[in-house]
């Protein structure tokens, strides 16, 4: 069975600072991993996905994530936070028919 754990339900950074949102997964077979973003009162939008082609994945809006098999992690980073990055971020994993989401991390960006 697969599962996802997002460490930290709330993360607060200053504008211009590094963003690091943590995601660890559990899977008995090679996983496919995703990061989604949800802005207030909106639906979910795909940021990026890992499908085994490359361990460092670049997504939209300057975000990227690195797949580390040894650490079973897929952390999301952005070098410099912008006020518009304030949202809820979800990590997700699939190996079969199920796409399972983590609990989400709310990113607050302070001016």
Partner 1 sequence: NAGVTQTPKFQVLKTGQSMTLQCAQDMNHEYMSWYRQDPGMGLRLIHYSVGAGITDQGEVPNGYNVSRSTTEDFPLRLLSAAPSQTSVYFCASRQQYNEQFFGPGTRLTVL
Task: Provide Rg for the chain, Cα atoms.
Answer: 13
Quick one: which of 71, 38, 73, 44 has its CA closest to 57?
73
**Smallest gap, in angstroms, from Cβ of residue 80 to partner 1?**
26
Please identify which residue in 34, 35, 67, 74 interacts with partner 1, judged by CB under 8 A.
Answer: 34
CA distance 49 to 51: 6
Does residue 72 belong to the site contacting partner 1 (CB under 8 A)? no
Q: Which region among 13-21, 65-73, 77-85, 92-100 touches partner 1 (by CB under 8 A)?
A: 92-100
**71 phi and psi, to 5 degrees?**
-105, 0
How many chain residues touch partner 1 (CB under 8 A)? 20
CA distance 85 to 60: 11
**Smallest gap, in angstroms, from Cβ of residue 22 to partner 1?**
14
Does residue 44 belong to the site contacting partner 1 (CB under 8 A)? yes
Does residue 100 belong to the site contacting partner 1 (CB under 8 A)? yes
CA neighbours closer than 13 Å in the CB half-sphere of residue 45:
13
Residues that bind partner 1 (CB under 8 A): 6, 9, 32, 34, 43-44, 46, 49, 51, 90, 92, 94, 97-104
């Amino acid at each position: 069975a697969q599962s996802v754990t997002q460490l930290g339900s709330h993360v607060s950074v200053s504008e211009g600072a590094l963003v690091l949102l943590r995601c660890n997964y559990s899977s008995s077979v090679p996983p496919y991993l995703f990061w989604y973003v949800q802005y207030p009162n909106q639906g979910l939008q795909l940021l990026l996905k890992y499908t085994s082609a490359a361990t460092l994945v670049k997504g939209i809006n300057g975000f990227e994530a690195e797949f580390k098999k040894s650490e079973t992690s897929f952390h999301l980073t952005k070098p410099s936070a912008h006020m518009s990055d304030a949202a809820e971020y979800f990590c997700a994993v699939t190996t079969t028919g199920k796409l399972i989401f983590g609990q989400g991390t709310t990113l607050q960006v302070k001016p």
